[in-house]
Structure 1
Amino acid sequence: MMFTDYLKQKQHSGSTISTYSKYLDYFTAWLQQEQLSADVITYTELLDFIRWLQSMNKSKALINAILCPVRHYFNYLVAEGKRTDNPATGLFMKGITRRLPNNLLSQDEMLQLYECYQLQLQVDASKKIMLGLLVQQGVTVEELKRLFVKDIYLKEGKVFISGSTHSNERWLRLEAAQVLELQAYIKANRFKTGPLLQENKKRKVSANNIVNQVGVMMRQLRQLNVKVIDATQIRSSVITHWLKQYNLRQVQYMAGHRYVSSTQRYKLNNIDDLQNALRQYHPLK
């Protein structure tokens, strides 16, 4: 089995496989230059590979991107029985600046949007359900697009969010009001199988339809609160709030993050909020 076949087996997209193959060329070129074999290379020698990339003025972000397919490649060698370990496990470049989420909404602001949305704007029930999933479960628009009726477990009061190449699957608790709304919505539309969200029974669900509905929703929400930007802002606000209630690993699971570092940047935002509050309200100011 070729490395590309291994990646296909792991359900990576065609574009990801193409990118990984391009980045892996750096590694294979270095192996040839150093007359080394990937079958026996060690962690220490991988550090030399990183130094080689640095000597070519590759940024830390690019080096991390190159190391990603290298880790996959060693997993491939293990699967093929050519190695018994992956020396690149846990090998990352540190000190990369990551953009922190900003312009966040408070929990009270999000709950007020959820409660007032349908009452004040007379919107379709599906939009109220979508907003609930954004505000309460912190789902992404991509996850809304692939949400099916079978993913809703009304008796258990849970929703299953399927994973993708960029996120992990997870089970999330539904609020009592959401359960009642979903129950009425599914019954009214006589859904049994297939995609959950649609504007009405005559319009078929499509990726573009969901994206357009969310876009309309955000414009409507700005009538209630001018601070509203988009669905990403709402998700960032939800995750930041979760970190005030739960530990880092719990929030990583709830958010569907593949890497804990993705969750940590929201924790840093909490620290910034605290520092800003101290600067504003410190008695010595």
Structure 2
Amino acid sequence: MKIITLTEYLKQHHTTQTAAAYNYTITHFLKLHPKAKRYKYQQLVNYFAEVNQQYQNIQTRIKILSAIKRYYSYLVFTEQREDHPCKTLTMKKGSSQAIQLQDLFSSSELEQLTQRENRYKLLESRNKILLGLLIYQGLTSDEIIRLDVDNIDLDIGTIDIKGSKKLNRRTLTLQGNQIQPLYRYINETRPAMQMVKTDKLILNKLGKPITVDGISAMIEPLNVLFPDRPLHPRSIRMSVISNWLNEKKLPLEHVQELAGHKWPSTTEKYIKMDTLKQRELINKFFPL
């Protein structure tokens, strides 16, 4: 194979302007990281974490990533190394801020939410079902209000979650302690509550389909349990996802499926970066 320089390689694949910009970025990168030619995946993950902090503009970060990717493509092309260490790294446009894991709730804390009694027995039954969907399946309020009765299959113990623009459709397993309460709710409580014709699973106290605001209102009185942290349906869902990863140690790709995330990078934000094992998870599945 004819040996070509990096500059020549860049000019073959890009316009003159882009090639020059990439060359500048790569030169700067190598000046700061003289051993980068042999960098492994995790070292590049760490580097791009620094890039994320240094540059606020997502387009700038994408350009840097593209240039560094091209550098390693060049090394593979010229047989200076066999693997491309950052080929799978991506940056999602519109990426949200980091998850504040210290504000979230453990599984045992979430279980405390189910202990509140309600003086209205019908609402107590309904609330138990609703809380279960939040703390066991990690559903969003929007997913809950779109659930129909026939989305529940008590024979095999599953619940079918409808997809949306933001989240994927998925089928989740019900907890053992959800089966009997759901059976009683669907066959006894819900018919007694229902005041309008509807297939929606969760009803409000007026017997109509519950709304997103209605779910928030149901959670609001529970704030007294944790006055120092924000408690609402979204923080509950975030806690569930974090607990799947950090308490139960489920694989990243499995948690992505459970949560319905379209991007692996969304799930990755919930990993606590405090142990070697968790860093190895990022090394295996990380997409910025």
Task: Tell me whether 1:247 sits opposite 2:255 in the alignment.
Answer: no
Matched, 1:219 2:220: yes
Tell me which residue corresponds to 2:203: 198
Q: Which amino acid aligns with 2:267?
A: T
**Distance in 2, Cα, partners of 1:168 & 1:175:** 21
Change (3 A) 1:172 1:118: farther
In 2: Cα distance, 1:179 partner to 1:43 partner: 58
Aligned to 2:140: 140
Q: 1:218 to 1:152 in 2, by over 3 A?
A: same
After TM superposition, the score normalised by the length of structure 1 is 0.59
Q: Whole-Å Cα distance in 2 between the matches of residues 138 and 240 of structure 1?
A: 10
1:223 maps to amino acid: V
* CA-to-aligned-CA distance 1:218-263 (integer Å, 9 cap, x gap): 2211133323521111111111110132100000000000010000
TM-score, length basis structure 2: 0.58
Q: Does the alignment pair 1:60 with 2:58?
A: yes
Q: Secondary structure at the match of 2:117?
A: helix
Cα RMSD after superposing both structures: 3.6
Detail structure 1 runs of 4+ shifted over 3 Å in the superposition. 42-45, 61-64, 89-98, 118-124, 190-193
> Aligned partner of 1:238: which letter?
V
2:263 maps to amino acid:
Y
- CA 1:94–1:148 in structure 2 vs 1: closer, same or farther (change >3 Å)? closer
Q: Quick one: distance in 2 between partners of 1:62 and 1:145?
A: 39
Q: Is the 8 A contact 2:118 2:124 kept in 1?
A: no
The number of residues matched between the two structures is 196
3-state DSSP of counterpart to 1:171: strand
Classify the secondary structure of the residue corresponding to 1:137.
Answer: coil
Q: How does 1:60-139 map to 2 (within 5 A)?
A: 60=58, 92-93=90-91, 98-102=97-101, 103-114=103-114, 116-118=115-117, 123-139=123-139
Counterpart in the other structure of 2:37: none
Q: Which residue of 2 aligns with 1:8?
A: none
Question: Is 2:162–2:168's contact at 8 Å kept on the other side of the alignment?
Answer: yes
Deviation of 1:204 (Å): 2.1
Structure 1 unaligned residues grouped into runs of 5+? 1-41, 65-88, 276-285
Tell me, yes or no, if the aligned pair for 1:170 and 1:256 is still in contact at 8 Å. yes
User: How far is 1:196 from its partner?
Assistant: 0.6
Separation in 1 of the partners of 2:92 and 2:259?
A: 23
| Maintained 8 Å contact 1:101/1:236 | no
Instruction: Give secondary structure in 1 for the equivalent of 2:273.
Output: helix
Residue identity in the other structure for 2:183:
Q
Partner of 1:257: 261
Q: In 2 relative to 1, CA 180–264 (structure 1 residues): closer, same or farther, beyond 3 Å? A: same
SS in 1 for 2:136: helix
Partner of 1:182: 182
User: Partners of 2:117 and 2:264 in 1: how far apart?
Assistant: 36
Gaps of 5+ in 2: 1-11, 23-54, 63-86, 277-288
- State whether residues 117 and 128 of structure 1, in contact with CA within 8 Å, keep that contact through their aligned partners in structure 2: no
Distance 1:131 1:260, change over 3 A: same
